[in-house]
Amino acid sequence: MEQVIKIEGGHLLNGEVRISGSKNATVALIPAAILAKGPVTIVGVPNISDVESLSTLLNELNVSVIHKSKDHIIIDPTNMENKPLDHRAVTKLRASYYFMGALLGKYGEVKMKMPGGCYLGPRPIDLHLKGFEALGAQIEYVEGSYLIKADKLVGAKIFLDVSSVGATINIMMAAVYAEGRTTIENAAKEPEIIDVATLLNKMGAQVRGAGTNVITIDGVEDLGGCFHEIIPDRIEAGTFIVMAAAAAEKMKISNIIPQHLESLLSKLQEMGVKMDVDVDCVTVEKSDKLKAVDIKTLPYPGFATDLQQPLTALLTQTTGDSTVKETIYPERFKHCTELQRMGADIEVGQGLSVIHGPTKLYGDSVTATDLRCGASLVIAGLIADGVTEIHDVNHIDRGYDDLDGKLKQLGAVIWREEIE
């Protein structure tokens, strides 16, 4: 039996949606919490399957995870043991690699399987490993597992060839207990990195410069428990803002940080979307003719690669030709094939797609090949004629907290079915 999501298109969305805590911050904050010697309370945790996978891995390490309420967890590493991480959950979840930095930082040794996740083209972890080596670790790859060991970790100057979010966070976590000062140059600047640094500093770490391209970490001997609230999910916020532009009469997206969404909001303004941006919310109203725009994905604060797929669904409705240039994951165009099944007129080249609009979309059977492709198909389903049936919805559940529930409250006709 397989579960599918079905959407009947053509129903206008109305009302307010509240954005959950950031998935990309959560999957790093949970591993970071094990660096503490006492309990860490995290609030605003999204209800997504990635969190379940991380909880499974924490249990493997004998860390207790208490779910106090829907979005409130307590992670207690008091009785933690450093065990090899070869559980199936590692291969389901790319962010499990954050346990590398956390365990190396805390114990000077880690053994774990190669992490998995959505396939978006090559996503090597060599930058993470180079960072660990610079801090004094030796790395072996034995029978499908990494063995990373250090007699002691010593601060170093590390230059990242690519400003990778994962490598920046992983090196930060490995360095908090290292002797002396670590400097990460060409560090990524994403808001999620600031959130992880904030948590580490509340625990007693000395991390400065998060959000800029140079981060310094002065090693400390001890980290304690703390309380932390996760930032709102800028990608979920962006997804709902695009949905509103595509399919809403009047819709308010609340619990957001507009500054994190500037690249998207300015593009939507250029397209002619009617929006009112407030301190922590955006209200979108139905706009007539939308204009085609060109997008180029870039590291933050540039246009987020995670939002180009949802936006492509909206671009099928604009007048003219839109171009999407993907500089982060040049292979990230599987959603285009699925949108073509629904009637979209899209040409895909190397690291590039051209969307000819406007075209009418028709409900069809499509597959969520990855998380944000799933979001793109949901948006397409909302505006298509007839019923859209989305397969492989586990990808959507990995990163969106109760997507169908939130849409139902806004007036979408969306449901799940088990099919043979």
Which of the residues are catalytic?
A: 118
What is d(CA 333, CA 324) in angstroms, rounded to the nearest whole number? 10
Name the amino acid, one letter, at 270. E
Sign of the torsion formed by the C-alpha atoms of 193, 199, 202 and 205 = negative
Under 8 Å between Cβ of 155 and 182:
yes
Where would I find the H helices in 285-393? 305-315, 334-341, 371-383
What is d(CA 393, CA 83) in angstroms, rounded to the nearest whole number? 32
Q: Which structure tokens are listed for 159?
A: 């230059």
Annotated binding site for UDP-N-acetyl-alpha-D-glucosamine: 94, 123-127, 306, 328
Q: Which structure tokens are listed for 408?
A: 């139902």
- Rounded alpha-carbon distances, angstroms, from residue 177 to 132, 164, 192, 206: 13, 22, 21, 10
Annotated binding site: 23-24, 94, 123-127, 306, 328
Under 8 Å between Cβ of 98 and 119:
no
- Single out the residue of 92, 95, 103, 112 nearest to residue 29, CA to CA: 95
Helix (H, G, I), strand (E, B) or coil at 272: coil
Give the phi and the psi of residue 306 in degrees, each rounded to 5: -70, -15
Can you say how many angstroms the Cα of residue 18 is from the centroid of all Cα atoms in its chain? Answer: 17
Q: Which structure tokens are listed for 187?
A: 């560090």
Residue recorded with tokens 């490598």? 167
- Single out the residue of 198, 139, 145, 150 nearest to residue 172, CA to CA: 198
